[in-house]
Amino acid sequence: MPTYTTGLITNTRASGTAATNIVVSARNLSNASATVVVEVFGVPSSTLVLTPLYVTGYILPAFSSDIRSFFIAGNVSYEVQYSVTATLTQVAMSTYGLDEFGNLVTEQRVLQSELTPTSGLTIPI
């Protein structure tokens, strides 16, 4: 079960445009379905501690895609972790920040090739 993380992404106006939402996109490039788990963490300015915000799991059918949005405003940084379970399945994941008007925050873009492999999810499932 490959697991990946975006690492912490700074989300403050002092260093660019802050995101109010993030969009997590998944694309299954094979003829077998996959199970995808997404965990979103935030670091609120009040505690500066990594806090779980969302955990969601879903089945991604063969040759399909899925796009989900998560509210992360008010966090000085955030992290997204992914787990993909499948046999011989190629699933490409990406994350983009969106500002309060729904525009892409391109400096908060993380593509599949930029994800960091991890030994497991922070919150085991």
What are the domain boundaries of the chain?
3-118
pLDDT of 88 strictly over 70: no
Please tell me whether the overall predicted TM-score, pTM, comes out greater than 0.85 for this model.
yes
CATH topology of domain 3-118: Jelly Rolls (2.60.120)
pLDDT per position as a tens digit, 48-72: 889 999 999 999 999 999 999 999 9
Residue 119's φ and ψ, nearest 5 degrees, are -80, -10
- What's the mean per-residue pLDDT of the chain? 90
- Place 125 in a pLDDT band, splitting at 50, 70 and 90: low
Rounded distance between C-alpha atoms, residue 70 and residue 60, angstroms: 18
- Dihedral (C-alpha) 26, 15, 55, 67: value to the nearest 10 degrees? -30
pLDDT of residue 104: 93
Determine the number of helices (DSSP H) and then strands (DSSP E) in the chain. Answer: 0, 10
